[in-house]
Chains A and B, each alone.
Chain A
C-alpha cells in the first residue's frame, strides 16, 4: 500500500496547486480504481487460467486488461468498469487462444518442437497439495480439481457465461455486455454449462 500511496501522491503532484479540487478528484478516482482492481484481480486470474491453462499467460492477459481499463476507460462511471473489464479480459484471452492455434498449425510442420509443446505442463491438471491436509480439505481439493477439469472441457462461451454469472457474480445484463452478446444467449450458454457440469460432476456432488 505504501507504493500505491506514493503513486497517488506523485500523480496528484502533477496538478497545479491552484486546482485542489482536481487533486482531490484524482486521488479519489485512483483509490476507486485501485479498489476495483483489487476486487477483480484474483477472480480474473482464475477465469483466465481456466481458459488458457497457463499461469504466465493468464497473468499477462489480466495485466493487459487492467492496463487497458485504466488507460482508456478510467473516466467512465465506476459501475461500468466490471463488465468492461471482463469484456477486455475475454478479448485478450481470445487473442492468446488464436495465437496458440496459429502457432500450433505452424508447429505441426516441426515435429521436434511439437513434442516440446506436448511436454508443457498443465498446472491445473498437475496441481498437487504437498502439505498434509485434513480430510475435509482433501475432499475439497479433489472436488475443486474435478470442477476445474470440467470447466476447462466446456466450450468457451459456456465457460464464460458460467464463470461470469456464478463466480464473478455479474447479472445477466452485465454478462451480456462482457460477452458481447444478447441476454438470451447468456441464459442459453449458462443453462447448457450447468447441464454439462452437472452431468460430469454428478459423482462428486451427490
Chain B
C-alpha cells in the first residue's frame, strides 16, 4: 500500500487540480506552518515517552493479588484453623481408631474384658474394694 506518486492514469483535469492543491499546500502561512511543527514535536515527544511493557504493567496488579492472598492465609485470625474442618479430621480419627490394637474394640462387646475396666476404674477413684478378687 504505497503512495501512488506518479498517477500514470491521471487525466489532464486531475493533473491540474493536483498541481493547484500542491501549490496551495506549499504556500501555507507561516503561522500555520509553525503550528504544524509544534504539533509534530508534540507527537514525537509522545512517541518518545515509551509506554511500559505489558509484563511490567501487570506487576502492580500481581503484587496486589499476592499481598491479598498472603493476608487471607496469615493475617485473618483462625484462618489456618478454619481449613481443618471437623469433617476433614473425622476420617483421620477413624483410621487411627481402626488401626490401634490397644483401643476398645468397636465390633461388639464379646471381646471386652469388663472386669478389667471395672478394676481400673476402682483403682483410679480409691482403694481396692475387698470384694474385688474375692
Contacts and interface: CB of A to CB of B under 8 A. Distances in A.
A33 B13 contact: no
B10 A166 contact: yes
A63 B43 contact: yes
Interface string B16-53: 11101111111010001101101111111111101100
A62 interface: yes
B1 interface: yes
A55 interface: yes
Interface stretch (A69-77, A98-106, A109-117): A69-77
Nearest to B25: A42
Chain B at the A interface: mostly helix, strand, loop or mixed?
A: helix
A170 B35 CA distance: 25
B134 interface: no
Interface string A25-63: 010011001100110011101100000000100010011
A10 B5 contact: no
B19 to A, nearest CB: 9
Nearest to B18: A166
Contact of B43 (A11, A70, A147, A163): A70
B48 to A, nearest CB: 4
A66 B26 contact: no
Of the listed residues A34, A43, A59, A166, the one surrounded by the most CB atoms of chain B closer than 10 A to its CB is: A166
B14 interface: yes
Contacts of A59: 32, 35-36, 39
Given A11-B48, A170-B3, A170-B4, A63 B26 contact: no
Given A147-B20, A169-B3, A43 B25 contact: yes
A94 B28 CA distance: 23
A167 B32 CA distance: 19
Interface of B: 1-5, 7, 10-11, 13-14, 16-18, 20-26, 28, 32-33, 35-36, 38-48, 50-51
